[in-house]
Amino acid sequence: MLAVAQIDYIRHEVNQKGETYASVGRKMGIDPRTVSKYANQEEFNKKEKQKRKSPVMDPVKPILDKWIKEDLKKKKKYQRTAKRMFEQLEKFHSFKGSYRTVRDYVSRRKKELTVTTVDAALPLEAIPGTAQVDFGTAPFKYQSEVIDLPYLVMSFPYSNTFYFQVFPSENTECLLEGLQRMFHHMGGVPKIIRFDNLSPAVKKIHSKGERDLTDTFERFVLHYGFKYEFCNPRKGNEKGHVEAMVKYVRNNFLLPENTILDLDQFNKTLWKQAEEDRDRPHYEKNILQSKLYKVDQENWLMLPEKEFHCARYQDVRADKYGMVTVDKKQYSTSPRFAKQLVRVCITYNTVNILNDRNEVVVKHSRLYGIKRKSMIWQPYLDLLSKRPRAIKYSSIYNQFPTIWSDYLNDCTEEEQKKALRLLGELLKNDDFSLLNEALQTASVHGHPSVDQIKHCFYTILNQNTSHTTIQPKVPLPRVPEITRGLSHYDTFFQKEDQ
């Protein structure tokens, strides 16, 4: 069909100026019969293309569509070929058509479905299998205090459903840990996920809207295969569904303050709460949200075979005490790493110190809040108990509680060995509380021995601070008052009635 401008030119030249079909055809380089057709055409309404019925292919097209959609969720190497689909149609569905017909249909439908998926990224709000993600904050009771903690929400606009998890921070590791938990609980990955410009994912936004992403986030996206989108700066309405869902979650599940004893255990209870919330009609579609959620599920990508290791690695130089600083918090390594570059593996809840073979040397719980230092004493005590003289030159005294650094300074070399071995034996969870109390009790009468400290430690540990009076089976003789000479010994042998 010719363009509208060409048809208009033909009709003007022939009908208004009286030019012949042949002359107009020569000017335009087209057949005179085509000129005649458009010059005399009466109707220009767009006609629907009639679909030809295909008694052989029509019954199997829904089957092929289902297979193609399933395969588009998988990696290319796991997708069926058109030949394999043809063989399965012949074997299981008594198909009598040709391989070429199946091949052409599969090729065309794959292109159509792929284009539909890409185009669907623009109007995200109502597309099955897509999601939006954002953080919110809510108050929680923890150790008798009320603190604000972030929670991650993934909402599904098509079904108006969601999942959420609570974390100690909004850093990259918490974001990816939350997304991964949701993917594996759901059993699939949304095709498209829209984010705000979260700093855990976006390092920098350039003038034309291009973004530099964090390395860990980029690798996470490649691992799970979803398409990501980011809102324009200061355009939170572009992810309006999750914005509303963040408020809904806070008002309906997180207020008043929940008491948290174990955050991981608390998060496990949230899956059921989110799923029970789906048993209500959609606010517009008048269908149960649980049924719409199943449509979302049908459009998700398949999970990869392995989980992603949600961690970042960082090379940090240790100070003279062997301490490294990660996100403004200090973590101990080992005295042999003092003033050296140390490789650190950081997850949402751990900070692991690695050796040159990438083996974990020290494992810390990651610090959040006001606490600024985590000290794991075992690597220091093991080394120092073998080389106690080194302690005077390592400045490690400054890391011990004051009561212990003073005690070790007053010890002989042999006493230091025994004291350090005792610390290595009794120190649990790097908590000096009981050991400090034991040393203080043992020091009441001066510089104590290691055995005295050990005895006091176990006395305190077992709360053995009271002694039961032993009742003798036979009466004991009365002890006479002290007198000079030997005569008082005779009283032990006197009879009671005398």
Q: What confidence tens digit (pLDDT) does each residue in 85-139 have?
A: 999 999 999 999 999 999 999 988 888 877 655 444 444 557 999 999 999 999 9
For the chain, list residues with pLDDT below 70: 1, 42-52, 115-125, 207-209, 232-239, 388-398, 429, 464-498
In-domain check, residue 184: yes
> Which residues 6+ apart lie within 8 Å of 358 measured at CB?
343
227 and 128 assigned to the same domain: yes
Residue 118: its pLDDT value, please? 46
Residue 474: its pLDDT value, please? 59
CA 46 to chain centre: 53
Residue pair 297/178 in contact by the 8 Å Cβ criterion: no
**CA geometry: angle 218, 223, 228, nearest 5 deg:** 50
67 and 138 assigned to the same domain: no
Residue 426: its pLDDT value, please? 87
Residue 45: its pLDDT value, please? 47
Residue 392, CA atoms < 13 Å, CB-side half-sphere: 11
Residue 467: its pLDDT value, please? 43
CATH of the domain at 242: 3.30.420.10
Query: Which residue, of 67, 90, 119, is where some domain finishes?
Result: 119
In-domain check, residue 255: yes
Residue 487: its pLDDT value, please? 58
394-422 pLDDT, tens digit per residue, is: 556 667 888 998 898 888 888 888 888 88
144 and 112 assigned to the same domain: no
Query: Which tokens hold the place of 100?
Result: 């070429």
250 and 150 assigned to the same domain: yes
321 and 278 assigned to the same domain: no
229 and 329 assigned to the same domain: no
Number of domains in the chain: 5
86 and 193 assigned to the same domain: no
Residue 470: its pLDDT value, please? 47
276 and 133 assigned to the same domain: yes
232 and 282 assigned to the same domain: yes
In-domain check, residue 18: yes
Residue 208: its pLDDT value, please? 64
328 and 194 assigned to the same domain: no
Residue 468: its pLDDT value, please? 46
Please state, in angstroms and rounded to a whole number, the distance separating the CA atoms of residues 238 and 241.
8
Residue 123: its pLDDT value, please? 44
In-domain check, residue 84: yes
Please state, in angstroms and rounded to a whole number, the distance separating the CA atoms of residues 33 and 420.
105
Residue pair 167/151 in contact by the 8 Å Cβ criterion: yes
Residue 466: its pLDDT value, please? 47
- Number of helices (H), then strands (E), belonging to the chain: the values are 18, 15
Domain assignment of residue 451, given as a range: 400-498
In-domain check, residue 46: no
Query: Which residue, of 269, 298, 327, is where some domain finishes?
Result: 298
In-domain check, residue 236: yes
What are the start-end ranges of the H helices in 254-350? 263-268, 270-276, 289-298
Query: Which residue, of 361, 376, 391, is where some domain finishes?
Result: 376
Please state, in angstroms and rounded to a whole number, the distance separating the CA atoms of residues 305 and 417.
51
Residue 125: its pLDDT value, please? 54
In-domain check, residue 325: yes
166 and 277 assigned to the same domain: yes
In-domain check, residue 45: no
Please give the full DSSP string across 184-218, using - where no structure is assigned: HHHTSB-SEEEE---TTTEEEE-TTS-EEEPHHHH
184 and 115 assigned to the same domain: no
Residue 397: its pLDDT value, please? 65
